[in-house]
Amino acid sequence: MDFLGQQLSVSTVMFLLLALGLALSFEFVNGFHDTANAVATVIYTHSLKPTVAVVWSGCWNLIGVLSSSGGVAFGVIALLPVELVINVGSAAGFAMVFALLISAIIWNVGTWYFGLPASSSHTLIGSIMGVGLANSMMGKGHVFGEGVNWAKASEVGMSLLVSPIVGFTLSALLLLLSKALIKRKELYVAPDKDKAPPTWIRSLLILTCTGVSFAHGRNDGQKGMGLIMLILIGILPAAYAVNMGTNQESMQEISESAQAITRQMEKHSGWVEVGAFQESAAELSAFLKTNGVATDRTFGGIRNKCFEIYGIMQGKKSFNDLSVDQRRTLRTDLYLVSESLGKLVKQHKLDDDETKEAAALKARMDKVTKFIPDWVKFAVAFSLGLGTMIGWKRIVVTVGEKIGKEHLTYAQGASAELVAMGTILAADTMNLPVSTTHVLSSGIAGTMAANRSGLQMETLRNVLLAWVLTLPVSVLLGAGIFAFGLNIVIRMGLK
């Protein structure tokens, strides 16, 4: 069967559809949790009817997703073992993708069933760590734990830890500030049953819902997109290994820059001999691990890969001029060189002029390997909206009624959502994933504390328990499903 320039068997097509179905199911379940938080206040305060709120939120999710850079998506992927990312079409690569998706779906559905605002971001990152740990245990010559990018994991973990604290504190302060400056009594009372708020309050709440939905799409919607791209790269490298829309001028810039970097790396390598192709790839893969250290051989490996990139791209007008195998090889080389140059720049291993050239080449290479087609963005946004439409009620009730001892007021909802929107957008500029669920629910708790409304400790205890358990449970699920899935995929005949 000819599919996007590749000959695929019926079983491979079925495998592709199953993998894409699981990825979109993850975003569908994500809609239960995270997107439901965005519509919680407008539904609970009767500012919008549930159907209208969900459709409105879905539209702004889509706008947020379409305007996203993809930085968060590929930042999450950077947590994965480098050998699995560059060999995503292997048995281990497919087992990795399935393990991430299935483990995240299991935990998210379980916490949603009990109405707990758990974090899809937290769940996915735990699953990634589980896969990395299992891969290091099962692989020959691996050291336990080296399969996880601990530097990136600590960076992401800090964002997930700090963002709820920011949500709690700033939401409480914003509510107190609004009480001091806005003397409108109707803002600070619980909504009447089945009665819409005054027009100006309604407009404020719709505005904050819009902002959170947009911010959620820009940040949280990207995680599923990154996983979908791994699937497409592994199964359909002819169309997705590199960005086929790259023009001739951009290709020429990469080719010429790679040639220039080749000469610089030659100087740093001390003219050490490093074998080309697989030997250089193995050298750079080792350098990119958490405990990887730059040596003469690292510079020699970058030198060889840059020379190979120049040889493949020189004189080509488009990526259509390359065979499927050449596109797959080129993506691997571009990824290894880009990430290696990025690590060298962070470690200040290059002088100022070289740092500028290395950063420029990395940016050009990333445009070729780190891209997300519009149809993927539309599919993710649709899945998020559909999940919210079906599963919003449990989370909305928890946010509106079960965090504080008193019902949520208009000002509390607006304060929490404004802070959530700002926090998520700030994280997005730094390409860091944050949890809409944690930021918003902690913001609601902050306003309840500031309002002296009291907190329902049973609900908070359950939410905290879900937050604490998410990481270890996801790690165990990810590791176990990866080991089981790898065995299954190997038996299916994939290597």
Quick: pLDDT tens for 351-393: 988 999 999 999 999 999 999 998 998 898 888 777 777 765 6
Q: Where are the domains of the chain?
A: 2-234+373-491, 244-369
DSSP annotation of 184 reads -
Burial 377-399 (b: 16+ CB within 10 A, else e): bebbbbbbbbbbbebbebbbebb
Tell me, what amino acid is at 375?
A: W
SS3 294: coil
Residue 20's Cβ-side half-sphere holds a number of Cα atoms within 13 Å equal to 17
| Most confident of the ranges 109-123, 138-152, 163-177, 419-433 | 163-177
Tell me, what amino acid is at 485?
A: G
Q: Alpha-carbon distance 489 to 491, whole Å?
A: 5
Of 408 and 334, the structure prediction assigns the larger pLDDT to 334
Contact 6, 323 (CB under 8 A): no
pLDDT digits (tens, 9 = 90+) for 195-250: 777 888 888 889 888 988 888 888 877 878 888 988 888 888 888 999 999 999 99
Contact 303, 273 (CB under 8 A): no
SS3 2: strand
Task: Pull the structure tokens for residue 90.
Answer: 């292997």
In percent, how much of the chain has pLDDT > 70? 87
Beta bridge partner(s), residue 404: 455
Contact 390, 293 (CB under 8 A): no
Contact 357, 257 (CB under 8 A): yes
pLDDT digits (tens, 9 = 90+) for 307-342: 999 999 988 899 999 998 899 999 999 999 999 999
Contact 440, 417 (CB under 8 A): yes
pLDDT digits (tens, 9 = 90+) for 251-261: 999 999 999 99
Task: Pull the structure tokens for residue 204.
Answer: 């404020």
pLDDT exceeds 50 at position 404:
no
Of 369, 241, 358, 254, the C-alpha closest to 312 is 254
Contact 262, 306 (CB under 8 A): yes
Q: Alpha-carbon distance 107 to 124, whole Å?
A: 10
DSSP annotation of 6 reads E
Which residues neighbour 296 within 8 Å (Cβ) at sequence distance 6 or greater? 268, 269, 270, 272
Of 463, 433, 439, 442, the C-alpha closest to 159 is 433
